[in-house]
Amino acid sequence: MGSGHIVNFVKYYGINPKNVVIEIIESDTDDILALQRFIELYRGFGFLIALDDVGAGCSNLDRIIITKPDIIKFDRALISGIHNFFYKQEICRALINLSRKIGALVVAEGVEEEREVITCLDLGVDILQGYYFMKPMTITDDRNLRILNQRIEGIVEKFKSYKLKKIDFERNRRIYFEQLLEDARNDLSALKAEEMNALLSKVAECPSVECIYVLDNAGIQVSETVCNQRELNRNAIFYPAKRGTDHSLRDFYYLLSSNEQEFYFSDPYISMASGSLTITGSARMQNQPLILCIDFIYD
């Protein structure tokens, strides 16, 4: 490491080091101090540093700390079929958010399918690399460049269409969830506490509902959790909260309580009642100091 061959090479060809990216293979070295010295040396000359193969079998997040990369390259193992795997999407989303904060660009390697490209763009990937666009080749004329540009223009239009449809779908789903929450809140507000269970059970029959329960003004659950009768993934980890559970640290309680708004919807999360992806909508009761919470299926 640090032999000077790379510096001599770019000088010989008159290349600005700022236009050269040195890729560090994520699992290629165990000599951390030598790796750090190499990176510091070549970054001092102006070279950009990319961390390659992130998401492959031997990935360690500490390599991001060590290399402080300018570019993070997601391995094909993480990108393959990403449109079908929520966990892959969330790992990528988290790494992309991290990249934004540390000032690194994100490259998705090995994109081969249209849906992989669209999902990566939707998550916020900066650069796409893969056979979907073109296989590696020597450009001998403008024909290949025209084909590549047509491919890029085509996926841009498809991505725009996808985003518009997604925005419309999310808007309609949110309206539906809000209406269901408001209707349930209004119906429950007219009942006494001991009369609520029957209505909770009725609301829980809705296919979009995972669970429904009621909190007091301190965030303590005052009803049982009434779940949809579909098969839930109940085990030692996932189970519905019981009466008396403290929800005061959950955003659907404290953000609703700390603001004057009547309704609140959480970000998607894995339900502790079932292991399913859900969002929680919460609403203040109108005539009594209670908060209605509904966990909606979010897939």
Residue-wise pLDDT tens digits, 33-79: 888 899 999 999 999 999 998 887 656 678 888 899 999 999 999 99
Count Cβ atoms below 10 Å from residue 52 Cβ, excluding itself: 22
Contact present, 36 and 49 (Cβ < 8 Å):
no
Radius of gyration of the chain (CA): 26
pLDDT at 260 (0 to 100): 76
Dihedral pair phi/psi, residue 283, rounded to 5°: -150, 140
HSE (side-chain half, CA atoms, 13 Å) at 92: 30
Place of tokens 């995972």: 210
pLDDT digits (tens, 9 = 90+) for 221-244: 999 999 987 655 556 788 899 999
Question: What's the CATH fold of domain 176-297?
Answer: Beta-Lactamase (3.30.450)
Decide if 5-133 and 176-297 have a common fold. Answer: no
The residues with which 49 forms a beta bridge, in sequence order, are 22
Q: At what angle do helices 86-102 and 114-123 cross, to 10 degrees?
A: 40
277-284/269-270 β-pairing: antiparallel
> pTM here?
0.78
Question: What's the CATH fold of domain 5-133?
Answer: TIM Barrel (3.20.20)
Locate the domains of the chain by residue range: 5-133, 176-297
pLDDT at 210 (0 to 100): 93
pLDDT under 50: residue ranges of the chain: none
pLDDT at 275 (0 to 100): 83
